[in-house]
Structure 1
Amino acid sequence: MPETHFTLRWPDGFEERCYSPSSVIGELLSAGTSYPMKDFLHRTRIALVRASNRVEAKYGFACSSAMAQLDQIEVRAATFDGQDDATVTCLNISQ
């Protein structure tokens, strides 16, 4: 369950390095791919909840860092509400 970092480019050009406690993020996001905001949020929710669940299965407690990262992503995404053409690009994924 290697820690994984992934870098995003938001619709306004801001780049953000994000964290997942598991490589599961690579099952739902691909480096170099842009996603419509709704699809991106759906994928990251699934990935970070799965990552937290993997931590819980292994260590007996959920990963608060994964849930905090998801919260941060959702707050940032909310700033683009109403922009139907907004996309997020996953620039890279690294372990």
Structure 2
Amino acid sequence: MPVMHFRVRLPDSTELNCYSPSLVIKDFLTPGTRYPMADFMSRSREALNIASERVRAKYGYACSSAMDQLAELEAHAQRFANLPDAQVEVLGFEE
């Protein structure tokens, strides 16, 4: 499976290099776009779950790295839960 990394900037200007075991992330996020935190997390959850299931279909087990990435994003999102205007900018993809 093709691995994809996607780079994002959090509301505090922290940049993260994130992992997806599938190119499906490209169907959910667009480089140069800012997403409200809730929308970004919804898109990330769906994409990373699909990616993990693709690994399961191919290898017989879910992708723990995709789930670890999602857990990391969830933890970061919690830091901004009290900021209703928090946005995440997608900086780009690396294949």
Q: TM-score, normalised by structure 1?
A: 0.98
Match of residue 6 from structure 1: 6
Alpha-carbon distance between aligned partners in 2 of 1:58 and 1:35, rounded to the nearest angstrom: 31
Distance 1:88 1:44 in 2: 11
* Backbone CA RMSD of aligned residues: 0.5
| Counterpart secondary structure, 1:24 | helix
Could you report, residue by residue, the CA deviation over 1:37-80 in whole angstroms, capped at 9, with x for unpaired residues?
A: 01000000000000000000000000000000000000011000
Provide the C-alpha distance between the structure 1 equivalents of 2:38 and 2:5, rounded to a whole number of angstroms. Answer: 21
1:47-62 equivalences in 2 (<5 Å): 47-62=47-62
What residue ranges of structure 1 are gaps of 5+ in the alignment?
none
Unpaired runs of 5+ in structure 2? none
List aligned pairs for 1:33-44, cutoff 5 A.
33-44=33-44
Q: Which runs of 4+ in 1 moved over 6 A?
A: none
Task: Report % sequence identity.
Answer: 53
